[in-house]
Amino acid sequence: MTTFYAMPGNEHLATVLAGRLGGSVATLALHRFPDRESVVRLEPPSRAADAVLVCTMDDPDPKLVPLLFAARTLREEGARSVGLVAPYLAYMRQDRRFMPGESVSSRHFAAILSEHFDWLVTVDPHLHRYRSLDDIYSIQTAVAHSAPAIAQWIVASVPKPVIIGPDEESRQWAQEVATLVDAPCMVMAKQRLGDRDVSISTADMTEWRDRTPVLIDDIVSTGATLAAQLAHLRESGLPPAICVGVHGLFADDAVARLERAGASYIVTTTTIPGAFAGIDISESIAASIRTMDGGEQRTSNDAHTSKWTA
Ligand code: R5P
């Protein structure tokens, strides 16, 4: 028996996943005291149930402590296993000590989650200097891919697209989407100048003037990356571009910035709920959960054998 618990704001996805996988949804409430401490109150799992917490990790710091409280409470209440579905996985961009004495937060975050959960499912994490989540997570992990859903959306919504990735890291998903929609693909080079400032290499794009540009980035944070790209496309005489993000963080005035830069449409997947989350990726998440062990102790002989129990 699998029971899904939604951290606040994740109720819709928890219900959809339980429906797709034949599990149930139990209640979880978070109360914040006047002093900003918090308490989690949840419906105890039925005996030996596999519990799944659903919590996307944008704005991660205030979410982390209640999430860990919930995981520990579920174990105390007898859950056979505790898995985590985090459609957006925070801290993956801090994958190096950029300055002496700086924390490599991706490693620390991974160590904390690995200590509290049996497995993790996420969507297209920002893998730049790491080859896979196994480089930093010591628990079983699976990555759900957004490219098929993004491609489906483009086929249904955009006539004659050209797919553009803003930097080398975006090649992995930009190229995959372009292949799926049978469109040309260009990948630019980006240099980050500061938290809110980037420069993008210029390239001759005149041959794509009769196509609709679709910019694809994994994370839309301040919008600086996509805005720089939009400016270049405008100067090249291309039609107004569509901006597609896998994860829409929309920090600061990102939306206004993209609109000012000439975005004709902004859309993201549903990893982070919000006004622009129009590409549903629950099917891919559900498929990844199916590959997770159902909580029995894995031995070196049976590792990665699916024991999913609905
Ligand atoms: C970074 O390498 C990522 O792939 C994104 O391009 C980046 O996080 C976007 O951030 P922003 O929207 O602030 O430019």
Residues 7-40: tens digit of each pLDDT? 999 999 999 999 999 999 999 999 999 999 999 9
Do residues 240 and 286 share a domain? no
Mean pLDDT in residue range 104-127: 98
**% of the chain with per-residue pLDDT over 90:** 83
CA of 249 to the centre of ligand 1 (A): 10
229: domain CATH number?
Answer: 3.40.50.2020
Do residues 176 and 265 share a domain? yes
Ligand 1 pocket, 229 CB below 6 A? no
| Residue 275 covered by a domain | yes
- Amino acid identity for residue 72 in this structure: R
State the burial class of residue 157 (Cβ atoms within 10 Å of its Cβ: 0-12, 13-18, 19+): middle
Q: Which pairing describes strands 28-32 and 197-200: parallel, antiparallel, or unpaired?
A: unpaired
CA of 225 to the centre of ligand 1 (A): 6
Do residues 205 and 94 share a domain? no
| Residue 308 covered by a domain | no
Do residues 138 and 154 share a domain? no
Mean pLDDT in residue range 171-198: 92
Q: Return d(Cα 235, Cα 238) in angstroms, integer.
A: 8
Do residues 141 and 155 share a domain? no
pLDDT digits (tens, 9 = 90+) for 200-230: 887 888 898 999 999 999 999 999 999 999 9
Do residues 6 and 140 share a domain? yes
CA of 188 to the centre of ligand 1 (A): 13
- Residue in 88, 218, 257 to alter for ligand 1 test, most ligand atoms within 8 A of Cβ: 218
Q: Whose CA is nearest to atom 10 of ligand 1?
A: 221
pLDDT digits (tens, 9 = 90+) for 236-281: 999 999 999 999 999 999 999 999 999 999 999 999 999 999 999 9
pLDDT digits (tens, 9 = 90+) for 292-308: 986 443 333 333 333 44
Do residues 167 and 267 share a domain? yes
| Residue 119 covered by a domain | yes
Do residues 15 and 34 share a domain? yes
| Residue 177 covered by a domain | yes
For the CA of 228, the closest atom of ligand 1 is 14
Do residues 106 and 220 share a domain? no
CB 88 within 8 A of CB 271: yes
For the CA of 195, the closest atom of ligand 1 is 13
CA of 153 to the centre of ligand 1 (A): 22
Q: Which of 149-158, 226-235, 285-294, 297-306 has the lowest mean pLDDT?
A: 297-306
Do residues 166 and 121 share a domain? no
CA of 224 to the centre of ligand 1 (A): 7
Do residues 112 and 27 share a domain? yes
Do residues 218 and 233 share a domain? yes
Cα–Cα distances (Å) from 90 to 61, 106, 107, 197, 260, in that order, read 9, 8, 11, 21, 28
Ligand 1 pocket, 81 CB below 6 A? no
Q: Whose CA is nearest to atom 2 of ligand 1?
A: 169
The model carries a pTM of: 0.93
- What is the domain count for the chain? 2
- The whole domain housing 26 covers 2-145+282-290
**Cα end-to-end distance, the chain, whole Å:** 5
Ligand 1 pocket, 221 CB below 6 A? yes
* Average pLDDT in the chain: 93
CA R_g for the chain: 20
Q: Return d(Cα 52, Cα 85) in angstroms, integer.
A: 7
| Residue 301 covered by a domain | no
Ligand 1 pocket, 293 CB below 6 A? no
Choose among 243, 187, 180: nearest CA to 213: 243
Helical spans, DSSP H, in 36-104: 60-76
**pLDDT at site 206:** 87
Ligand 1 pocket, 225 CB below 6 A? yes
